[in-house]
A and B are shown apart, each in its own frame.
Chain A
């Protein structure tokens, strides 16, 4: 079944239309890459899917597991399994990463009508995931994203994803700012989450990431539209020829 189905999506912010008729469908179990020039609307698409205030949908529809995604609040979407790894993760001073993870996980569980995790069970879960992503313990105690390097922030996003185990993962340029080793660790973390019940939308500028996270489909987003879709070889082609062919 198609997990995410986007039809003729028009959306904008501050009165400016940015998405101009997106068509995209992502079945469960698949990884789709979205590539495209700067300013083409990739992050905007991720915000609209996550339900950010101020991003108005003027036309079209988005269904998620058959339900109307756009009717849900951001926190409901999160509880329903939608996760966005931010291109620029946000700092929350004074809130330890561990506290943030716990508050978020329990809020999601509550939103699904599940019990909260006990503190010991939660600690065990986080320690395990942190170890597998080589995420240092002392960073769990630091305020979330505050003073983290660019690469550390991205890694913290992947850690959150691993802890929450969302059904639909949207990664917005999670590879930018990572050194080669970190890229490997992050890609391994993402690959470990690949499974038949989960879908991923990976926004990236670099074919390199797709060597590690091999996508089922690659889409080119330009000027607010998906202008081309293909298999993983499309990424290689783009790497060579650039986006010139898709300029409006």
Chain B
């Protein structure tokens, strides 16, 4: 009891202001006029030099959005967002035209990425940009085995993608990895065919908003039979004040292909709330596999709940092909409010969906996250492992839906939801919905709620481990099943992030 009492004391003294990534980059930026109107949509489209069809698509989304209402069913609480007070587009000056070579990139911006700790051999990756004209030299640039351990990075700053590394080398194997704005220009047929095919324009309020004003994000296309030779990764950062970021990502894995993609997010410390409304669509063909990992560390707001990112995200994967597989792995530690349900539509017979999640809330953070597994095909399987950790005065809800349609003969699901509470001012909720319309479906659900015990704290401390480190160790242990799902390169980063996000929850 006493140790828990102590923990509570320490959680009270929480200082989320220690947010490690809360610096502001001093870069001149070029913004759209404040507020949202058809004009704003036209401005963004024009700025990106978009073809007419793209503009029409956006305007259609905008008009539908006007008739929609913000969802109220989630366990989150925030004042109504005044969209007329927001900026919907901001580009670092000089980059409006899209990606540039490293020499042309503002050094301040590069320092930003350095500060962000873009993981693993960052220097090499950035050097990759410099050597883009001579890809053959990349292999002896200190990167021993080609492929393994290398990461291609797309970096999105406010509304514009600034660097994409290894693009040419990827192109050799037929992989397209570029900013979505570039895909609209160079691969319009693919974009037209797939964008909005998983998350329809008017799927929900924030998806419609995103469809109207989406700024940038990644486009990935893996051709038939290709195993993507390296991890693909995108870093998102919101820098500008009062600016929304509307990420749009589209990943297409053709028959028999494989890709592993990771996104990381940070934002500076601001008193105002910033909006991030993303749409991510994944499409997996026959026998294709997409592994999508997220390390989300947006600014969570301060101890009183001032500022922080509103993270309203629609992520959905379509297992369109036979025996296709999509797995979502997420480590969610940031944002003032998270509203996010990466889902899988298991359409192809024998397809498989997975959702592995660690959601940590501290201070006044509110998390409402989970997944939907929609079984349509025969013999489809899904697996959900969710680890929620709440500290401080935060609220952390798992909301999940597992559904078998009448056609889903032999559907199987296993769900495990574990919650860990630190202190007694926080809360955890588990809201599982299960709908089975096929009698042969087998759904299993397990849930636990636990606390870090006094015994565990004393045991660690007796062994010399200070309170804060002990909490991090125990929480990392609690999350181990999920951490193991992350690509190796990022697992260590994620463990550190777990420790950082709980900093100040003790001590």
Give A contacts to B, CB under 8 Å. 47, 50-54, 73-75, 77-79, 83-84, 86, 89-95, 99-100, 103-105, 107-108, 111, 143, 160, 164
Question: A75 touching B466 by the CB < 8 A rule?
Answer: yes
A160 to B463, CA, bound (A): 9
Contact of A100 among B3, B455, B458, B473 (CB under 8 A): B473
- Tell me the B259-297 residues at the A interface (CB within 8 Å): none
Contacts of A84 in B (CB 8 A): 462
Q: With A73-B461, A74-B461, A111-B464 given, is the CB distance from A90 to B3 under 8 Å? A: no
The answer to whether B462 and A107 touch across the interface, beta carbons within 8 angstroms, is: no
Q: Of B455, B465, B473, which one neighbours A90 at CB under 8 angstroms?
A: B455
317-332 of chain B: CB within 8 A of chain A: none
A107 touches B459 (CB 8 A): no
Q: Which of A54, A74, A99 contacts B462 (CB 8 A)?
A: A74
Question: With A107-B463, A108-B464 given, can you name 7 additional A-B contacts, CB distance below 8 Å?
Answer: A47-B458, A54-B454, A74-B461, A75-B462, A75-B466, A75-B467, A94-B477
Number of A-B contacts defined by CB within 8 Å: 88
Tell which of B6, B463, B466, B477 touches A53, judged by Cβ atoms closer than 8 Å.
B6
7 contacts between A and B (CB under 8 A): A54-B1, A75-B462, A77-B462, A99-B473, A103-B465, A107-B466, A108-B463
Give Cα A81 to B460, complex, Å.
Answer: 15
Task: Find out whether the CB atom of A92 lies under 8 angstroms from the CB atom of B461.
Answer: no
Would A93 and B459 count as touching, CB distance under 8 A?
no
CA distance A74 to B469 in the complex (A): 14
Residues of chain B lying within 8 A (CB to CB) of residue A93: 477-478
Smallest CB–CB gap between B331 and chain A, Å? 15
Per the bound structure, the CA–CA distance linking A46 and B305 in Å amounts to 43
CB neighbours (8 Å) of B473 from chain A are: 92, 95, 99-100, 103
Q: What's the least CB distance linking B488 to chain A, in Å?
A: 16
Contacts of B462 in A (CB 8 A): 50-52, 74-75, 77-78, 83-84, 86
What are the residues of chain B within 8 A of A91 when measuring CB–CB? 456
Contact B458 A53 (CB under 8 A): yes
From A52, A54, A104, B465 is in contact (CB under 8 Å) with: A104
B386 to chain A, nearest CB (A): 15
List of B residues within 8 angstroms of A143 by Cβ: 477
8 A-B pairs with least C-beta separation: A94-B477, A54-B2, A53-B2, A108-B464, A94-B480, A78-B464, A104-B463, A95-B477
Q: Which residue of B lies closest to A143 (CB)?
A: B477
**CB-CB contacts of B68-106 with A at 8 A, as 1s and 0s?**
000000000000000000000000000000000000000
Answer whether residue B422 sits at the interface, using C-beta atoms and an 8 A cutoff.
Answer: no
**B213 on interface, CB distance cutoff 8 Å:** no
For residue B474, CB closer than 8 A to chain A, the reply is yes
The listed residue with most A CB atoms (<10 A of its CB), out of B459, B462, B476, is B462
For residue A74, which residues in chain B have a CB less than 8 angstroms away from its CB? Answer: 458, 461-462
Tell me the complex Cα distance, A164–B465, Å: 13
Chain B min CB distance to A81 (Å):
10
B476 touches A94 (CB 8 A): yes
Q: Judge whether B180 is part of the interface by a CB distance below 8 angstroms.
A: no
**Does any Cβ of A come within 8 Å of B337's Cβ?**
no
Complex-state Cα separation, A77 to B466, whole angstroms = 11
Beta-carbon nearest neighbor of A55 in chain B = B2
Q: Say how far A122's CB is from chain B's closest CB, in angstroms.
A: 14
Give, as a whole number of angstroms, the nearest-CB distance from B495 to chain A: 10
Q: Which residues of the partner chain A approach B428 to less than 8 Å between Cβ atoms? A: none
**Nearest chain B CB to A117 CB, angstrom units:** 13
How far apart are the CA atoms of A108 and B2 in the complex, in Å?
Answer: 23
Cα A94 to Cα B465 in complex, Å, equals: 17
By beta carbon, the residue of chain B nearest A90 is: B459
Nearest CB on B from A206, distance (A): 24
Complex contacts, A79 vs chain B, CB 8 Å: 464
Which residue of B has the minimal Cβ distance to A105?
Answer: B464
Q: Give the complex CA separation of A126 and B106 in angstroms.
A: 49
CA distance A104 to B473 in the complex (A): 10
Min distance, Cβ A143 to any Cβ of chain B, angstroms:
7
Which residues in B have their C-beta under 8 angstroms from that of A78?
Answer: 461-464
In the complex, chain A residues whose CB is within 8 Å of the CB of B469 = 103, 107
Contacts of A104 in B (CB 8 A): 460, 463-465
- Across the interface, name the chain A residue whose C-beta is closest to B452: A92
Enumerate chain A residues within 8 angstroms of B3, measured Cβ to Cβ: 53-54
Q: What residues of A have a CB within 8 angstroms of the CB of B479 in the complex?
A: 94
Q: Tell me the complex Cα distance, A73–B462, Å.
A: 9
Contact of A92 among B2, B6, B456, B466 (CB under 8 A): B456
By a CB distance below 8 angstroms, the chain A residues around B455 are: 90
**Bound: A31/B469 CA distance, A:** 33
B474/A95 in contact, CB under 8 A: yes
Complex CA distance for A187 and B405, rounded to whole angstroms: 63
Let me know if B477 and A107 touch, CB within 8 A: no
Cα-based distance from A74 to B1 in the complex (angstroms): 16
Chain B residues with Cβ under 8 A from A51's Cβ? Answer: 461-462
Q: Which residues of A contact B460 (CB under 8 A)?
A: 92, 104
B465 touches A107 (CB 8 A): yes
Q: Which residue of A lies closest to B480 (CB)?
A: A94
Q: Min CB distance, A172 to chain B, in Å?
A: 11
Nearest residue (CB) in B for A79 is B464
How long is the Cα–Cα vector from A118 to B456 in the complex, in angstroms? 26
CA distance A52 to B456 in the complex (A): 11
Interface string of B440-461 (1 = CB under 8 A from A): 0000000000000111111111
Determine the distance from Cα of A20 to Cα of B158 in the docked complex, in whole angstroms.
67
Bound CA–CA A36/B129 (angstroms): 73
Contact B463 A92 (CB under 8 A): no
- Inter-chain contacts of B474 with A (CB < 8 A): 92, 95
B134 CB to nearest A CB, Å: 36
User: Are A95 and B463 closer than 8 Å at their CB atoms?
Assistant: no
Partner of B454, one of A53, A73, A99: A53
CB-nearest residue of chain A to B481: A94
Q: Among A86, A95, A107, A108, which residue has its beta carbon within 8 angstroms of that of B476?
A: A95
Which residues of B sit under 8 angstroms from A92, Cβ to Cβ?
456, 459-460, 473-474, 477
Residues of chain A within 8 A of B1, CB atoms compared: 54
Closest to B479 in A: A94
Contact B480 A107, beta carbon cutoff 8 Å: no
Determine the distance from Cα of A78 to Cα of B462 in the docked complex, in whole angstroms: 6
* Residues on the B chain within 8 Å of A164, using CB: 463-464
Q: Which residue of A lies closest to B387 (CB)?
A: A94
B461 — which chain A residues lie within 8 A by C-beta?
51, 73-75, 78
